[in-house]
Amino acid sequence: MQGAPGGGVGPGPSPVDRWTLLVFSFILAAALGQMNFTGDQVLRVLAKNEKQLSVLRDLEGLKPQKVDFWRSPARPSLPVDMRVPFSELKDIKAYLESHGLAYSIMIKDIQVLLDEEREAMAKSRRLERSTSSFSYSSYHTLEEIYSWMDNFVTEYSDIVSKIRIGHSFENRSILVLKFSTGGSQRRAIWIDTGIHSREWITHATGIWTAKKIVSEYGKDSTLTNILDAMDIFMEIVTNPDGFAFTHSMNRLWRKNKSTRPGIFCIGVDLNRNWKSGFGGNGSNDNPCSETYRGPSPQSEPEVAAIVDFITAHGNIKALISIHSYSQMLMYPYGHSLEPVPNQKELYSLAKDAAQALYEVHGIEYICGSISSTLYVASGITVDWAYDSGIKYSFTFELRDTGRYGFLLPASQIVPTAHETWLALRAIMQHTLNHPY
């Protein structure tokens, strides 16, 4: 539905009621130390042509700190989702209407979803304390995840261990779980989640997947065959500083937390900081942009730690980087429209994996190269992996397609993780059966 001038659909709170709500929300946020998003909306715009896409890109450049693109302008066939602060809604809607751009409201008030999310976490935390158990169907803080890791590797020490591969900009440990049945420098699979800190469903999926691996080894013949021959490395919190910040201050923070002298804005998009295609289209040299690539390739310690580890290992055969949202399974390249040499194989494998995922809950995924399916993006993880000789490099965009966006309810954690597991297993099995 196209929005009415002035913002919103249907009757809303009176100005006095809204002002009271805003004041109360800001007081609550100050007490909790968290940013408040009362009245912020997520608008969906479908550009009809390249001219309208250009108008949206201009908006991205005009207000890089005001308009937060959840799905960036890419091509006319793809919707554009943007979070607009309450203070900017009237102007942004007028801008869209003046350029003939129809929009619909995907999320009417972001703070409502955030309040529901926090209450669900608090309820889960109370239950966990009373039962001394860890909930795989809830979202968790960095401290809770790292504590779970310690207990997890102790309980399943015969198959999983913990490796510190480096430290973040704010000196937090960067931890990787290693699943192995023995041997050294065996062929291996790398899985990372949470490189963009606000994508909480990815961390939760990683945690559930780790538990699935230890639970199913010896029972699931496919997984057993994989682990008997290969190791699996899993980095669940790829961006620990950003992730901690999403819990303490800004739930919608995307980048890491690095700072540089003379630059006011904080953070680098870690998925634009890799060497392959660095500095090209789909990244930004503006430090205030959500896709700021950083001053140089691998300038960020979180990226450098992975590069150093994978390079030193020398036998990683598949890399899978998990993001949200959009329900897509993609492969290189992101920085170029040129097909990779084994594109037919990657497309076929992606389709097989997406079919395995679909058979769980009927969730459909789109498959293809990143640049042709989503948008051109330079300096990304999977392009670097592929150019480093990792033939099977994939990226997931998990649920959903925009109803909740980055604020997927905890009730969807287990269904999302379950279906994703079948796709992951298909990729790992193919990697096992096609050595190189």
Catalytic residues: 397
- Asked whether 274 and 298 are in contact (CB, 8 A), the reply is yes
**Cβ atoms within 10 Å of 361's Cβ, excluding its own:** 12
Tell me how far apart the alpha carbons of residues 178 and 311 are, in angstroms, rounded to a whole number: 16
How far apart CA 153 and CA 143 sit, in angstroms, is: 16
Integer Cα distance of 165 and 172 in angstroms = 11
Best CA proximity match to 270, nearest among 206, 321, 309: 321
* E-only strand ranges, 252-365: 316-324, 328-331
Query: For residue 45, which of 95, 98, 105 has the smallest C-alpha distance?
Result: 105
Residue 42 near residue 83 (C-beta atoms within 8 A): yes
Q: 382 CB contacts (<8 Å, ≥6 apart)?
A: 319, 321, 330, 331, 332, 334, 370, 393, 394, 395
Cα 32 from chain centre: 25
Token pair belonging to 30: 């100050």
Residue 206 tokens, joined: 């990683």
Residue carrying structure tokens 């480093």: 388
Give yes or no for a contact between 320 and 427, defined as CB atoms under 8 angstroms apart.
yes
Q: Which residues lie closer than 8 Å to 118 by C-beta, 6 or more apart?
A: none
What sign does the CA torsion over 292, 294, 296, 299 have? negative
